[in-house]
Structures are given as structure tokens and as C-alpha cells.
């Protein structure tokens, strides 16, 4: 079976590492980026199966990255999970407006994140 590829874009190194370890333990191939521009470049180059995207990022924020991917026909089908400490309803509303498929707030429940990933990738547990 081919490993699904997930791109995690987060500027917090500890968070990036924790999520990467969890996803690798579930047999996903994981790519990482620490700023919005790098994340966007990797997404365009690698076309991952799913993107986990922080909102508050250096260079390009998560909303812009999401919008740029979702408004590009080549990448619009890639599911994007907004992954952020911003728990305000307006933030979540804006996340969905720019095309996010899911919105998960930090601190996060690993089971909830994995469940959402499986759901968006059409995997059954």
C-alpha cells in the first residue's frame, strides 16, 4: 500500500515534531515546513494528500496559504486542516471561507486529529 503524504506547516518546532512523530507512527509520510512560503512551495512541488496548516506563520499566514492552494485548480482537491491556537469563531469562519476542510484548535486531542485526517483521506479505521 502506498503511504499517504501529509504536509505539516507550523512555525513551532515542538508542535511540528510532535505531530510528525504521531503521523509517522500511523504510517504516513510526513513533510514539514516552518513558514507559509516554504509550506506553499513544498505543497506545489510535492502535491501532498493532505495539509495540516497553522494560521500564525512567518512570511505568509495560514489563511493566505490555504487560499492560494484552494484557488489553484491543480491543488484545490487537497484537503486542508487548519491547526491553530486561535479558537475565536471569526477565525474559524474565515478558515472555512478560504477553503479549509476542517478546523482544529491547539492544544489538540491527537485522536481527534487522526480521526479527521482519516475522514478527509477517505480511510476507514
Share of the chain above pLDDT 90, in %: 88
- 61 sits in which H/E element: none
Report if pTM > 0.85.
yes
- Mean pLDDT, range 32-41, rounded to an integer: 98
Whether 45 has a pLDDT exceeding 80, the answer reads yes
Helices 62-70 and 36-46: angle between axes, nearest 10 degrees: 20
DSSP 59: S
Q: Which domains does the chain have, with CATH numbers?
A: 5-120 (3.40.50.2300)
Quote the mean pLDDT of the chain. 94
Amino acid at each position: 500500500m502506498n503511504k499517504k503524504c501529509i504536509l505539516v506547516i507550523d512555525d513551532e518546532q515542538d508542535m511540528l515534531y510532535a505531530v510528525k512523530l504521531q503521523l509517522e507512527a500511523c504510517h504516513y509520510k510526513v513533510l514539514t515546513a516552518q513558514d507559509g512560503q516554504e509550506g506553499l512551495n513544498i505543497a506545489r512541488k510535492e502535491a501532498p494528500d493532505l495539509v495540516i496548516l497553522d494560521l500564525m506563520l512567518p512570511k505568509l499566514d495560514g489563511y493566505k496559504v490555504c487560499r492560494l492552494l484552494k484557488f489553484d485548480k491543480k491543488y484545490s482537491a487537497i484537503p486542508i486542516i487548519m491547526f491553530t491556537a486561535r479558537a475565536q469563531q471569526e477565525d474559524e469562519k474565515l478558515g472555512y471561507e478560504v477553503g479549509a476542510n476542517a478546523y482544529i484548535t491547539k492544544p489538540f486531542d491527537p485522536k481527534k486529529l487522526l480521526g479527521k485526517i482519516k475522514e478527509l483521506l477517505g480511510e476507514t479505521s
